[in-house]
Amino acid sequence: MLKVHDTLSGKLEVFEPINPGAVGMYVCGVTVYDRSHIGHARALVCFDVIYRYLKFCGYEVTFVRNFTDVDDKIIKRAEQRGVPAMQVSEENIAAFKEDMRVLLCEQPDLEPKATEHIAEMIELIGELEAKGLAYESGGDVYFAVDRLPEYGKLSHRRLDDMMAGARVEVDERKRHPMDFALWKASKPGEPDWDSPWGKGRPGWHIECSAMASKYLGQPFDIHGGGNDLVFPHHENEIAQSEGARGCTLARYWLHNGMVNLGSEKMSKSLGNFMTIQHCAAEYGGEALRYLVVGTHYRGPLDFTVERLQEQKKVLDRIYESLARADEALAGAAAKPDAGLIDEHVAAFREAMDEDFNTSRALAALHDALRGMNRYLDAGQLPQAAACREALRRIGAVLGIGTQDPAAYLESLKQQTLSTGDLTAERIEALIAERLAARKSRNFARADEIRDELKAQGIILEDSPAGTTWKTA
RNA sequence: GGCGGCGUACCCAAGUGGUUAAGGGAGAGGUCUGCAAAACCUCCACUCAGCGGUUCGAAUCCGCUCGCCGCCUCCA
Does A293 map to a domain?
Answer: yes
pLDDT tens digits, A368-379: 999 999 999 999
Give the 3-state secondary structure of residue A19: coil
Domain extent at residue A81: 19-116+257-303
Alpha-carbon torsion, ordered A445, A449, A454, A459, to 10 deg: -100
Top-confidence residue, A174 or A390: A390
In terms of domains, do A280 and A336 share one?
no
Q: What pLDDT sits at residue A293? A: 95
Q: What percent of chain A has pLDDT over 70?
A: 98
- pLDDT given at position A464: 81
pLDDT at A170: 67
CA–CA distance from A121 to each of A126, A193, A346 (Å)?
8, 11, 45
Max intra-chain CA distance, chain A: 93
Question: For A295 and B45, how far is CA from C1' in angstroms?
Answer: 20
The answer as to whether A52 is a domain residue is yes
| Type of residue at A97 | K
A336 CA → B40 C1’, Å:
21
Q: How far is the CA of A335 from the C1' of B44 (A)?
A: 38
Nearest residue by alpha-carbon distance to C1' of B34: A443
Quote the mean pLDDT of chain A: 93
Are the C-beta atoms of A401 and A430 separated by less than 8 Å? no
A394 and A427, same domain (yes or no):
no
By C-alpha to C1' distance, B33 is nearest to A462
Helix (H, G, I), strand (E, B) or coil at A249: coil
**What stretch of H or E contains A224?**
strand A220-226
pLDDT in tens, A76-106: 999 999 999 999 999 999 999 999 999 999 9
Nearest nt (C1') to A27 (CA)?
B76
CA–C1' gap, A452 and B41, in angstroms: 32
Q: Are residues A309 and A398 in the same domain?
A: yes
Distance in Å, residue A306 CA to nucleotide B40 C1':
27
> Any idea which nucleotide's C1' is nearest the CA of A360?
B14
Predicted confidence at residue A167, as pLDDT, reads 61
Does residue A118 register a pLDDT over 90?
yes
Gap from A98 CA to B42 C1', Å = 46
Q: Give alpha helix (H) positions in A57-84.
A: 72-81
| φ/ψ (deg, to 5) at A8 | -65, -50
Residue A220 falls inside a structural domain: no
pLDDT tier at A58, thresholds 50, 70, 90: very high
pLDDT at res. A195: 96
Same domain, residue pair A281 and A340: no
Nucleotide with minimal C1' distance from the CA of A155 is: B3
Residue A449 has pLDDT above 80, yes or no: yes
How far apart are the C-alpha atoms of A326 and A385, rounded to whole Å?
9
- Answer whether residue A465 shows pLDDT above 90: no
Q: What is the DSSP letter of A275?
A: B
More confident residue, A330 or A171: A330
Residue A420 has pLDDT above 80, yes or no: no
CA of A348 to C1' of B22 (A): 13
Determine the average pLDDT of the residues in A467-471.
89
Task: Point out the nucleotide closest to A467 (alpha carbon to C1′).
Answer: B37
Across the range A124-149, mean pLDDT stands at 94
Whether residue A414 lies inside any domain: the answer is no
Please say if the pLDDT value at position A162 is more than 90. no
pLDDT digits (tens, 9 = 90+) for A164-198: 655 666 677 889 889 999 999 998 888 999 999 99
Mean of pLDDT values over A13-19: 95
pLDDT tens for residues A192-244?
999 999 999 999 999 999 999 999 999 999 999 999 999 999 999 999 999 99
Phi/psi for A420 (5° steps) reads -100, -175
Same domain? A90 vs A78? yes
Same domain, A75 and A23: yes
| Tens-place pLDDT, residues A344-357 | 999 999 999 999 99
Nucleotide nearest to A42 in CA–C1' terms: B76
* pLDDT band (50, 70, 90) for residue A121: very high
- Considering the domain architecture, whether residues A365 and A330 belong to the same structural domain is answered as yes
Measured CA A235 to C1' B8 distance, in angstroms: 34
Q: Is A388 in the same domain as A454?
A: no
**Protein residue closest via CA to C1' of B15:** A360
β-sheet bridge partners, residue A466: A463
Average pLDDT over residues A32-43: 95
Percent of chain A with pLDDT over 90: 81
Between CA A114 and CA A204 the distance in angstroms is 9
Q: Is residue A245 in a domain?
A: no
Gap from A70 CA to B73 C1', Å: 19
Q: Which residue has the higher pLDDT, A289 or A188?
A: A289
At residue A18, the pLDDT reads 97
A354 CA → B39 C1’, Å:
32
A243 lies in some domain: no
**Do residues A381 and A316 lie in contact, with contact meaning Cβ atoms separated by under 8 Å?**
no
Q: Within a 13 Å sphere around the CA of A113, how many CA atoms are in the beta-carbon half?
A: 11
The Å distance, CA of A223 to C1' of B46, is 45
How many angstroms is C1' of B60 away from CA of A314?
A: 31
pLDDT computed for residue A201 by the predictor: 95
Residues pairing with A312 in the sheet: none
For strand B, the positions having any atom within 7 A of a protein Cβ are 1-6, 11-15, 22-26, 33-41, 68-76
pLDDT of residue A454: 87
Runs of H (alpha helix) within A299-456 = 305-330, 338-353, 358-378, 381-398, 405-419, 424-439, 443-455
Please check whether residues A96 and A59 belong to one and the same domain: yes
Q: Which nucleotide is nearest to A443 (CA to C1')?
A: B34
Task: Tell me what pLDDT residue A422 has.
Answer: 85
Pairwise CA distance, residues A107 & A97, whole Å: 9
Distances from the Cα of A207 to the Cαs of A84, A116, A196, in angstroms? 21, 10, 17
Residue A35, domain member (yes or no)? yes
Residues A338 and A391 in one domain: yes
Domain CATH for A58:
3.40.50.620
In a domain, A388, yes or no: yes
Q: Which residue is nearest to nucleotide B23 (CA to C1')?
A: A363
A162: nearest nucleotide, CA–C1' criterion = B72
What's the rounded Cα separation, in Å, for the pair A458 and A165? 59
Q: How far is the CA of A215 from the C1' of B25 (A)?
A: 44
How far apart CA A351 and CA A373 sit, in angstroms, is 23
> What is the spatial distance between Cα A1 and Cα A14, in angstroms, rounded to a whole number?
7
Residue A389 and residue A452 share a domain: no
pLDDT at A408: 96
pLDDT band at residue A410, thresholds of 50, 70 and 90? very high
- Judged by average pLDDT, the poorest of A61-65, A174-178, A275-279 is A174-178
Closest nucleotide to the alpha carbon of A236, via C1':
B72
* A261 CA to B59 C1' distance (Å): 27
pLDDT of residue A164: 62
| Closest residue (CA to C1') to nucleotide B2 in the complex | A161
Judged by C1' against the alpha carbon of A73, the nearest nucleotide is B74
Side by side, the strands of the sheet bearing A264-265 are: A264-265, A259-261, A301-303
A18, A251 contact by CB (below 8 A):
yes
Q: Which residue is nearest nucleotide B3, judged by alpha carbon to C1' distance?
A: A157
Q: How many CB atoms lie within 10 A of CB A279?
A: 23
Structural domain total, chain A: 3
Distance CA A98, CA A44 (A): 13
> For helices A276-283 and A38-56, what crossing angle results, to 10°?
80
pTM, two decimals, is 0.96
Please state whether A44 falls in left (phi above 0), alpha (psi between -120 and 50) or beta.
alpha
The CATH number of the domain holding residue A355 is 1.20.120.640
Q: How many CB atoms lie within 10 A of CB A165?
A: 7
Point out the nucleotide closest to A320 (alpha carbon to C1′): B38
Q: Quickly count: other Cβ atoms within 10 Å of residue A80's Cβ.
A: 9
Same domain, A345 and A326: yes
